[in-house]
Amino acid sequence: MKPVIAIIGDRFMSPAMFEKAIRDKCGADLAIRSYEMPWPDEPMQHGYAQAGMDGLKEYQGEADEIVAMVGDAAIAVTQLAPFSAGIMDRLPNLKLIAVSRGGPVNIDVKAARQRKILVVNTPGRNASAVAEFTIGAILTETRLITRGHESLRRGEWRGDLYRADLTGEELSEMTVGAIGYGHVGTKVVRLLKAFGCKILVCDPYVQLSVDDIKDGVEQVSLARILGESDVVTLHARVTEETRGFIGADEFAAMKQGAYFINTARGPLVDYAALTQTLKNRHLRGAAIETFGIEPVPPDWELLRLDNVTLTPHIAGASVKTVKFAAEAAAEEVRRFLAGEPPLNPC
Catalytic residue annotation:
265, 294, 313
Strands (DSSP E) found in the chain = 5-9, 32-36, 45-46, 57-59, 75-78, 96-99, 118-120, 175-179, 198-202, 218-219, 231-234, 258-262, 283-288, 308-310
CA–CA gap between residue 123 and residue 103 (Å, rounded): 7
Interstrand relation of 258-262 and 231-234 (parallel, antiparallel or unpaired): parallel
CA–CA gap between residue 206 and residue 201 (Å, rounded): 10
Cα angle value 216/228/260 (rounded, 5°): 105
Contact status, residue 215 vs residue 243, Cβ threshold 8 Å? no
DSSP helix, strand, coil percent of the chain (3-state; round to 5): 40, 20, 45
